[in-house]
């Protein structure tokens, strides 16, 4: 009865159930039975169900007092004792309720738009995420947090109004090109000894804040904008064929991650000598050229359209559009050998359909008009040559012999003679 009276007074805001003086006076000279251990902490009843009406400031203050008392009791109670474990459980319940009062989930919108970010409320309770604004852990169990659906910027709900970095995806949409100079450093003095992004004072000595260089932009950043993340730098790949990840700032990391699959690198113009030193690139270029020669067969073949053969390259759509544009992911996969294997397999599948499986595609083959003998020729065969003017196909050996005597296409000569 005494406990219930004290509980009723607590619900009315007149008393704190964790006031040790009241507990001692009401239980003086008595040993609480073991089955009432939970009752000492108020765990036998649901004291923290959502009350009718809104909370006031006194409710938060009372919960803070109860949390402080729980912390004190945990330190005073015997270590690993049952009573200490129950107190820890009580402390968790109190903190959860305090978080609900401070940051009620039902008041948080599911989608917020800020600085071109499209923030979506996360339902995951994982505690392994870090807030990109305050650089602290996001405790998903008790904190509301958001992720930008464009650039995957993560932050606490309480940090939303402090964000000053626009969404990186907007930069990708408006500026789809890489910095092609290797670490274009301008010097910390040119930055006025401030972070290139948030303008926080920084120095190389770490006072007041450590200056960290981004290998992609060449600029210096503070520890809040540069977490020592690493990424493969496009300029180092193109000029040095180097794939070692380098330290970059958070913004550069997100930008490179969003750009990695975009075909924006025209190697013939940026560094044509790369094909002289990287044999794998020569092989990839030949396979891509063959695929472009196969494409007309597929877009005019009903069976190929029904089999949707070109969808084999849906992850690299630019391979069926041109043979000179590359994405950074293409170059990474070329270096590892994955692209050569997958592209060779696709090339074999395409050639099999044209030369063996489909009679209509076979009928579109060519006869060498110089020797008039041999098998049916296709423009993607290794032993053939193709005229760039009329797209006629000849045996490569015969074409080389003809070139010695004439610079014109043999088919055009035959047409003129007839």
Domains of the chain by residue range: 54-102, 111-168, 175-262, 273-363, 366-417
**Is 200:224 a contact under the CB 8 Å cutoff?**
yes
pLDDT beyond 80 at 392: no
- Mean pLDDT across the stretch 330-354? 93
**Is 393:385 a contact under the CB 8 Å cutoff?**
yes
Of 31-35, 60-64, 235-239, the least confident: 31-35
The neighbour count for residue 189, using CB atoms within 10 Å, is 7
DSSP label of 320: G
pLDDT beyond 60 at 412: no
Has domain 175-262 been given CATH number 3.10.20.600?
no
CA geometry: angle 135, 138, 139, nearest 5 deg: 145
> How many angstroms from the chain centroid is the CA of residue 76?
47
pTM of the predicted structure, to 2 decimals: 0.64
| Beta-sheet strand order (sheet of 145-148) | 111-114, 117-121, 145-148, 154-156
Q: What's the CATH fold of domain 111-168?
A: Wheat Germ Agglutinin (Isolectin 2); domain 1 (3.30.60)
Q: Where are the beta strands (DSSP E) in 115-181?
A: 117-121, 145-148, 154-156
**Is 320:295 a contact under the CB 8 Å cutoff?**
yes
Enumerate residues 6+ apart whose C-beta is below 8 A from 38.
44, 86
Q: Angle 338-352/328-336 helices, nearest 10 degrees?
A: 90
Cα separation values, 199 from 69, 84, 174, 210, 249, Å: 42, 48, 24, 13, 14
Q: How much of the chain exceeds pLDDT 90, in percent?
A: 31
Alpha-carbon gap, residue 299 to 208, rounded angstroms: 63
Alpha-carbon gap, residue 360 to 365, rounded angstroms: 10
- Mean pLDDT across the stretch 53-60? 49
Q: Among 215, 317, 203, 307, which Cα is nearest to 263's? A: 317
**pLDDT for res 7:** 43
Structure tokens at 389: 């003017």
Structure tokens at 308: 């949707």
pLDDT beyond 90 at 246: yes
Q: HEC profile for 61-127? A: HHHHHHHHHHHHHHHHCCCCCHHHHHHHHHHHHHHHHHHHHHCCHHHCCCEEEECCEEEEECCCCCC
10 vs 97, residue with greater confidence: 97
Report residue 49's pLDDT band, with 50, 70 and 90 as the boundaries.
Answer: very low
* End-to-end CA gap in the chain: 118
pLDDT beyond 90 at 263: yes
> Residue 154 — left, alpha, or beta (φ > 0 → left; ψ -120 to 50 → alpha)?
beta
201 vs 166, residue with greater confidence: 201
Structure tokens at 371: 């020797």
The neighbour count for residue 106, using CB atoms within 10 Å, is 6
pLDDT single digits (tens) 131-149: 888 888 888 777 888 888 8
Structure tokens at 299: 């877009």
pLDDT single digits (tens) 90-130: 888 787 777 666 554 445 667 778 787 888 888 776 667 88
Length of the chain: 418
Q: Angle 328-336/279-299 helices, nearest 10 degrees?
A: 120
**pLDDT for res 372:** 63
pLDDT beyond 90 at 18: no
- Mean pLDDT across the stretch 287-306? 89
């Amino acid at each position: 009865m005494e406990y219930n009276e004290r509980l009723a007074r607590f619900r009315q805001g007149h008393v704190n159930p964790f006031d040790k003086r009241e507990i001692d006076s009401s239980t003086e000279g008595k040993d609480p039975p073991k089955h009432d251990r939970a009752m000492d902490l108020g765990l036998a009843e649901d004291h923290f169900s959502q009350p009718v009406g809104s909370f006031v400031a006194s409710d938060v203050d009372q919960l803070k007092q109860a949390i402080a008392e729980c912390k004190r009791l945990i330190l005073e109670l015997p270590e690993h004792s049952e009573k200490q474990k129950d107190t820890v459980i009580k402390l968790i319940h109190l903190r959860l309720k305090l978080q609900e009062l401070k940051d009620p989930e039902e008041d948080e919108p599911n989608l917020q738009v800020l600085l071109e970010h499209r923030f979506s409320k996360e339902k995951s309770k994982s505690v392994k995420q870090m807030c990109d604004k305050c650089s602290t852990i996001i405790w998903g169990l008790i904190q509301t947090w958001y992720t930008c659906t464009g650039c995957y910027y993560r932050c606490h709900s309480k940090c939303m109004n402090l964000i000053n970095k626009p969404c990186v995806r907007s930069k990708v949409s408006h500026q789809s090109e890489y910095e092609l100079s290797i670490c274009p450093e301008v010097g910390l003095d040119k930055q006025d000894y401030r972070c290139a992004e948030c303008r926080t004072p920084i120095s190389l000595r770490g006072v007041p804040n450590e200056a960290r260089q981004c290998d992609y932009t060449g600029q210096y950043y503070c520890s809040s904008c540069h977490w020592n993340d690493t990424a493969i730098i496009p300029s180092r790949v193109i000029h040095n064929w180097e794939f070692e990840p380098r330290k970059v700032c958070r913004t550069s990391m997100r930008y490179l991650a969003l750009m990695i699959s975009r075909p924006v690198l025209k190697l013939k113009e940026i560094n044509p000598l790369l094909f002289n030193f990287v044999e794998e690139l020569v092989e990839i270029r030949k396979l891509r050229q063959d695929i472009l020669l196969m494409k007309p067969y597929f877009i005019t073949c009903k069976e190929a359209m029904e089999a949707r053969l070109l969808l084999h390259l849906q992850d690299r759509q630019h391979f069926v559009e041109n043979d000179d544009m590359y994405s950074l992911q293409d170059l990474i996969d070329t270096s590892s050998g994955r692209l050569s294997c997958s592209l060779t397999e696709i090339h074999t599948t395409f050639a099999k359909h044209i030369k063996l499986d489909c009679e209509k595609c076979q009928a579109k083959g060519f006869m060498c008009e110089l020797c008039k003998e041999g098998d049916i020729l296709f423009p993607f065969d290794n032993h053939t040559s193709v005229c760039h003017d009329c797209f006629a196909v000849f045996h490569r050996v015969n074409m080389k012999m003809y070139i010695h005597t004439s610079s014109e296409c043999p088919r055009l000569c035959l047409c003129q003679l007839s």
